[in-house]
Amino acid sequence: MVTSTHETSHRIFQDHPEVLAPIFEALGMPPPAKAGIELVTPDATELKPLERRVDTVLKVEPSDGESFLLAVEAQARKAPDKGTNWPYYVAYLRAKFDLPVLLVAVCRNRSTAAWAAGPFECRVGPWVSQVTRPFVLGPDSVPEISDEAVVARQPALATFSAIVHSESQGIDAILNLLARGMRSFDKPTAKYWSELLEVGLEDTPARDTWRELEKMVISYFPGRGTVWEETYYEGRAKGEADGRAEGRAVGRAEGRAEGEAVGRAEGKAQGVLRVLEVRGLTVSDEARARITGCMDLARLDDWLDRAGTVARVEELFAGMPDEPQEERR
């Protein structure tokens, strides 16, 4: 089954090959920035009802030296079948592309990392026909990030390091450092990395810690149930429900059309306030009055969209002319 950790491996290795720097250092090769890296199909399926699929396969073309394939596997725990599947992946990819293959296992805890290093042998008596030794990226081979400046310069490496160390004792300090470092990013960049990290932390206790620290963005991963997605849609749903209820009540008394318009505005205003409050932003009496007094539905929709990203409530109104205050009957 494809898990969140697998999804993160797909995205971070494909989009940010600089994370592969520890591998290149260990191989004594120039850094990945000086190599051409191309995504190739991870399909290792034969023409029979049996499917095998590598998490990520990258073709690396160094500036100096022969090309090779990187087959990346995210491994959260020991799995007996990998002793058979991993050698198959290496042999199949070697035959299919006629290139040497380096199998990389990404592990979050030391015991799994020690197991994943192998060797996995195909043996008959004393004779060994095949040996597979994965290169492991785990807590002992990926350094912990302890400098906010590294977060700013190398966000991919910092994010990947936090995922690898998500089961380490110092993970809370690592996540706090990342949260501080991400404050220097522009909103879209902070939004992307904070959600990629949340998805990668998957079912670890560290994910709950990060959800408390994640105060910057809405959603780059719709449907994944991240904190920003939940907050945003909780606010919108509450606003729409309140709007319908208010609209029905006012509509019966003074005319359905006018009542529903007023109700929708009320509901959207409550949705804006709900998102701001869930994010822990202080809403002044003046700002609250401006939001609840607005009858412009388009403006309220814009505020609802902005409510998930602004650092201060006042930023909601930046660049907007004052709206006319319409008296609600």
Residue with tokens 């060797």: 119
User: Do residues 27 and 94 share a domain?
Assistant: yes
- Asked if the structure places residue 51 within a domain, the reply is yes
- Asked if the structure places residue 125 within a domain, the reply is yes
User: Do residues 37 and 130 share a domain?
Assistant: yes
- Asked if the structure places residue 16 within a domain, the reply is yes
- Structural domain count, the chain: 3
b (16+ CB within 10 A) / e for 210-245: bbebbbbbbbbbeeeebbbbebbeebbebbbebbee
State the residue range of the domain holding 37.
Answer: 4-137
pTM of the model: 0.58
Tell me how far the alpha carbon of residue 281 is from its chain's centroid. Answer: 24
How many residues does this entry show for the chain? 329
User: Do residues 24 and 120 share a domain?
Assistant: yes
User: Do residues 106 and 159 share a domain?
Assistant: no
Q: Give the pLDDT of the chain (329 residues) as one tens digit per residue.
A: 445 555 565 567 767 777 777 777 777 777 666 556 666 666 655 544 444 567 788 888 887 778 999 898 888 889 888 989 999 999 999 999 999 999 999 998 899 999 999 999 998 888 999 999 999 999 999 988 888 888 888 888 899 999 999 988 889 999 988 888 887 787 778 878 888 888 888 888 898 888 877 754 444 555 566 665 666 556 656 666 666 666 565 545 555 566 667 777 887 888 788 778 777 788 888 888 898 888 888 888 788 777 777 778 888 887 665 555 444 43
- Asked if the structure places residue 259 within a domain, the reply is yes
pLDDT at 117: 93
The 10 Å Cβ neighbour count of residue 129 is 9
Helix 187-201 / helix 227-254 crossing angle, nearest 10 deg? 110
pLDDT at 316: 83
| CA nearest to 142, candidates 120, 167, 177 | 167
User: Do residues 13 and 116 share a domain?
Assistant: yes
User: Do residues 271 and 201 share a domain?
Assistant: no
- Asked if the structure places residue 153 within a domain, the reply is yes
User: Do residues 180 and 260 share a domain?
Assistant: no
Contact residues for 143 (Cβ-Cβ < 8 A; gap 6+): 161
pLDDT at 165: 93
